[in-house]
Amino acid sequence: MPEDIEKQPLIAPYHSQGLLPRIKNILWARRNQGDVNHITGDIHYIALGLKKAKTILTIHDIGFIDHPNPAVRMMLKLFWLSLPIKRSAITTVISESTKRHILRHVRCNPSKIVVIPNAISRNWKRNDKPFNEAYPTLLHVGTKFNKNLERTIQAVKGLKLHLKIIGKLTSEQETALQECAIDYSSHFNIVEAELMRHYETSDMLVFCSTLEGFGLPIIEAQTVGRPVVTSNISAMPETAGEGACFVDPYDVNSIREGILKVIRDKEYRESLVEKGFANAKRFDPEVAARQYYEVYKKALKER
């Protein structure tokens, strides 16, 4: 941020679980207001305690809107989406896909929602590595339902490769890996330096998620210099630009064909890497900082 912005990061003191702690967080937020208040975490509801004209709300995704329990879904929509947006001067989102998703569920002026993509830390650097065509290591980030690990497992069944998984496996996922005789490893509770090392020692990223507000692993892989296979839906095409092989995440054969194309076609693979390097430049921290700076100035001017 420019030097004329005085920044004071604050962390809500109460764990966001249950009614009373959340009410306490709202009251805490009311007592700790600045000239501009920027809500960046999954505590959208604290906007209820802040002055609307001074509040910027960032929403990363709204996957919670698909909660299977209707009562919980209604509560989440009201206190994490509708009311927070109403109680904010400006809402920022990390992709056009997220903006479209929000506007399907909330009636508001589209101009109130501003797209500012995530930025990638400058700790991430290019790290060239010869591609192991004979026995490549495929990196898969995430084990939640939307990360689509189960279909990826089926897609690589019978292929000579190592599947490196970031995230804690469920017993069902472990069983599927064993039944498909996949050579795999899993890693969880790791720090950023370890995560970077896993990208650097892998040959490619397979990120065939069914829903993403942004898809940061795509940019991480592109920054390091790894070819990416990702989904042709949600925010992933927007995030990846031209630097990825796009597949249908609901079609196991499509995922398999994409993986094989990257493994077998050297020219195509190298073109993805170069296009990935170019695309990743869009997510430099300075770019995001300038965009937020303009949002802050607008909030101050219109107050």
Report pLDDT digits (tens) over 201-223.
999 999 999 999 999 999 999 99
Mean pLDDT, residues 252-279 taken together = 98
Average confidence score pLDDT of the chain: 96
**Which ranges of the chain would DSSP assign to H, the alpha helix?**
19-31, 70-77, 83-86, 96-103, 149-156, 171-179, 192-200, 216-224, 236-240, 252-264, 266-280, 285-302
pLDDT digits (tens, 9 = 90+) for 239-261: 999 999 999 999 999 999 999 99
pTM above threshold 0.85: yes
CATH 2.30.40.10 for the 19-118+284-302 domain, yes or no:
no
CATH topology of domain 137-282: Rossmann fold (3.40.50)
Asked if residue 303 has pLDDT above 80, the reply is no
Q: What is the DSSP letter of 159?
A: -
pLDDT digits (tens, 9 = 90+) for 102-129: 999 999 999 999 999 999 999 999 999 9
CATH 3.40.50.2000 maps onto the chain at 19-118+284-302, 137-282
